[in-house]
Amino acid sequence: MREPIIVFDHVRKSYPLYHHITGGTKNLLFHLPSTLSAIRNSRYEALKDVSFEVKRGEALGIIGKNGAGKSTILGLIAGVLKPTEGRVVVKGRASALLELGAGFHPELTGRENIILNGIILGLAKAEVLKKLDEIIEFSGIEEFIDQPIRVYSSGMLARLGFSVVSHLDPDILLIDEILAVGDREFRKKCIKKMMKFKKRGVTIIFVSHSMPDVKRICDRVAWLDNHIIKMMGNTGDVVSGYSK
């Protein structure tokens, strides 16, 4: 029996709708009490009472329509969001695979961006420098590595980003829709790398709309619908339920 590495215990997450505050001064002044109570009460429910556990080394897929709360779950695991109610327990270091080019600076070279991104994602500077050559080689960006990344194609950016993350040493890897970009060869490489992570015992949380990818990577899948878990279980069962 493996221990759970991520526990969601009756988690509810709601966001206040902040745009009400910027509704204009006149409006605010004329209807002060009602506006204030509207601000207090108008909340957006991103997750309602979600509970699940992920065991160490497991690969969990999260599927569902846009706006169902998938990214909120990732945010809660990464520790950038706090639950409104309930408890989120994460044992270990969670690393997020960033969306294309996030945290990169367009004016810096590929090499400089690798160092920057590696440290931002939690590596020590010495570690990054030690792995630098390996990362560059994995990215397959050869003569462009000392060019500012604003001249890179989007595929090259994705490769650069993924090669940094794949050289991290996380306990939990969070992947949000990253495979949507990049050519087929790169996708294959990514999936292979993820399998390697999995073999090493890294827990993977994989958010995707691509059912073939989910089937290939995940042991279990949670189907989010309308801010609750509609179905959770075996990859095959949930995916076929979702595709119906």
Partner 1 sequence: MNTQIKHYIDLITVLTQKEMKVRYKSTFFGYVWSVAHPLAFAFVFFMAVKVVMRIQMEGYAVFLIAGLFPWQWFSNSVNASPMVFFLNASLIKKVSLPRNVLPLATVLQDMIHFLLAIPVIVLFLFIYHKSPSFSWLYGIPLLLIIQLLMTYGLSLIISSLNLFIRDLERLTGIGTSLLFYFTPIIYPETMIPERYKTLVLYANPLSPLMVSWRNLFLNGTLEFSLVAASFVYSLFALMLGYAVYTRLSWKFAEVL
Where do the DSSP E strands lie in the chain?
A: 4-16, 43-55, 59-64, 85-90, 94-97, 172-176, 203-207, 220-225, 228-234
**Cα–Cα distance, 160 to 111 (Å, whole number):** 9
**Cα–Cα distance, 35 to 37 (Å, whole number):** 5
116 counts as binding partner 1 under rule CB under 8 A: yes
Stretch that binds partner 1, among 72-80, 202-210, 212-220, 233-241 (CB under 8 A): 72-80
Of 4, 57, 86, 103, which one interacts with partner 1 (CB under 8 A)?
A: 103
Residue with tokens 């429910």: 45
Would you say 165 or 238 has its CB closer to partner 1? 165
Helix (H, G, I), strand (E, B) or coil at 241: helix
CB of 111 to partner 1, least distance (A): 12
**Cα–Cα distance, 46 to 23 (Å, whole number):** 22
Stretch that binds partner 1, among 4-12, 96-104, 151-159, 182-190 (CB under 8 A): 96-104
Would you say 18 or 30 has its CB closer to partner 1? 18
CB of 105 to partner 1, least distance (A): 6
Give me the amino acid identity at 131: K
Of 79, 201, 212, 233, which one interacts with partner 1 (CB under 8 A)?
A: 79
Would you say 116 or 180 has its CB closer to partner 1? 116
151 counts as binding partner 1 under rule CB under 8 A: no
Q: Which of residues 21-60 bind partner 1 (CB under 8 A)?
A: 21-22
89 counts as binding partner 1 under rule CB under 8 A: no
Of 7, 39, 108, 132, which one interacts with partner 1 (CB under 8 A)?
A: 108
Phi, psi of 125 (to 5 degrees): -60, -40
CB of 241 to partner 1, least distance (A): 29
Compute how many other C-beta atoms are within 10 angstroms of the C-beta atom of residue 180: 14
Of 23, 27, 32, 107, which one interacts with partner 1 (CB under 8 A)?
A: 107
Cα–Cα distances in Å, from 184 out to 39, 131, 137, 167, 235? 47, 26, 19, 21, 23
Compute how many other C-beta atoms are within 10 angstroms of the C-beta atom of residue 184: 7
**Cα–Cα distance, 204 to 94 (Å, whole number):** 9
Annotate each residue in 212-241 with x if it binds partner 1 (CB under 8 A) or - if it does not, as one string: ------------------------------
The residues of the shown chain that bind partner 1, judged by CB under 8 A, are: 15-16, 18, 21-22, 74-75, 78-82, 94, 96, 98-99, 102-103, 105, 107-108, 112, 115-116, 119-122, 124-125, 148, 174, 176
